[in-house]
């Protein structure tokens, strides 16, 4: 064990190497485009150096930079079709056009905007819950696009693009206050799927190798099918309960019909009794008979319910 540790400590570490750099001066801002390389491959770093010395950096792999160049070309076409900038007639919320890129467990947002001072491109990188932004004046959009294209053409190797050219696009799932990202990537060990859960000030992720995807899918299918089975069972129970209620209602209806028939016979007997009582000359007896019939009808009416 100690020998292995010594070998690992003595193994040469591949440090970050800078292969090329370009400088773009736009108005009072300076932008640096750097091509660098480390143990995971080559990547491009875009740095904005403000007047006060503050710097904002956006990192992206070669495939992400390739996608960025394509998005910049689209935004450049939109910008060229716009009329001259008018501070009195601005776009809604200042947003003209928006594009997004999802690569390597990162999100890149390109917003072409305008305000009273002019038009500009806001580039944002969202990684591990941290957002980094740089603002590029619209006058330098063409220079930025050409600079990235030159670096890709001069320093991009075929293996940098082949590794991810056939990978599926990233997917996003919004579930309440949570957001799940499904990113497919590759490294020297092979292709993998990274599932990230993002909430406010919280992020966690799991990585699944490609040869375990089918088993992972089978487990999800099995778990997803159980609630459906429970739902079907609940529907069957509701149907059975509905049939039971129908039987009870039928019994109640039958019993009510029997009570009505019984009341009908009683009313006939009372009417016959009243008709006989009318033959007596005593008016008090006749009045009592009418009162008795009225009272009897009221009681029998409430017996129906």
4 has pLDDT over 50: no
Q: What percent of the chain has pLDDT over 90?
A: 24
Q: Which fold has domain 171-220?
A: Nuclear Transport Factor 2; Chain: A, (3.10.450)
244 has pLDDT over 50: no
303 has pLDDT over 70: no
Q: Which fold has domain 17-85+95-162?
A: Secreted effector protein pipB2 fold (3.30.2450)
Question: Which residues sit opposite 20 in a β-bridge?
Answer: 35
Cβ atoms of 122 and 113 closer than 8 Å: yes
Pairing of strands 95-103, 106-115: antiparallel
Domain ranges of the chain: 17-85+95-162, 171-220
Q: Tell me the C-alpha to C-alpha distance, in Å, between residue 96 and each of 74, 106, 110, 118, 119.
A: 12, 23, 11, 12, 9
Q: Give the model's pLDDT for residue 144.
A: 93
> pLDDT category, 186, cuts 50, 70, 90?
confident
Q: What's the pTM value of the predicted model, to 2 decimals?
A: 0.57
Task: Please name which of 28, 25, 230, 203 lies closest in space to residue 105, comparing C-alpha atoms.
Answer: 203
């Amino acid at each position: 064990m100690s020998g292995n540790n010594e070998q690992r400590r003595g193994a040469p570490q591949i440090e970050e190497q800078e292969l090329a750099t370009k400088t773009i001066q736009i108005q009072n801002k300076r932008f640096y485009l750097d091509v660098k390389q480390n143990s995971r491959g080559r990547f491009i770093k875009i740095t904005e150096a403000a007047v006060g010395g503050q710097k904002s950096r956006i990192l992206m792999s070669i495939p992400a930079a390739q996608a960025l160049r394509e998005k910049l070309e689209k935004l450049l076409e939109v910008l060229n079709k716009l009329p001259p900038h008018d501070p009195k007639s601005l776009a809604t919320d200042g947003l003209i056009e928006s594009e997004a890129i999802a690569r390597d467990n990162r999100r890149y947002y390109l917003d072409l905007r305008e305000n009273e001072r002019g038009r500009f491109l806001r580039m944002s990188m969202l990684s591990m819950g941290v957002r980094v932004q740089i603002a590029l004046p619209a006058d330098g959009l063409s220079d930025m696009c050409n600079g990235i294209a030159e670096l890709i053409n001069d320093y991009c190797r075929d293996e940098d693009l082949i590794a991810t050219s056939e990978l599926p696009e990233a997917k996003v799932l919004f579930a309440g206050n949570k957001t799940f990202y499904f990113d497919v990537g590759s490294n020297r060990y092979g292709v993998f799927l990274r599932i990230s859960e993002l909430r406010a000030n919280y992020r966690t992720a799991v990585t699944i190798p490609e040869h375990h995807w089918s088993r992972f899918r089978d487990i999800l299918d099995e778990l997803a099918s159980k609630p459906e089975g429970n739902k079907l069972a609940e529907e069957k129970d509701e149907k059975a309960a509905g049939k039971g209620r129908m039987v009870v209602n039928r019994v109640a209806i039958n019993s009510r019909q029997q009570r009505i028939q019984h009341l009908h016979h009683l009313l006939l007997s009372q009417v016959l009794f009243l008709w006989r009582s009318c033959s007596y000359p005593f008016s008090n007896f006749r009045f009592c008979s009418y009162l008795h019939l009225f009272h009897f009808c009221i009681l029998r009416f409430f017996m129906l319910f």
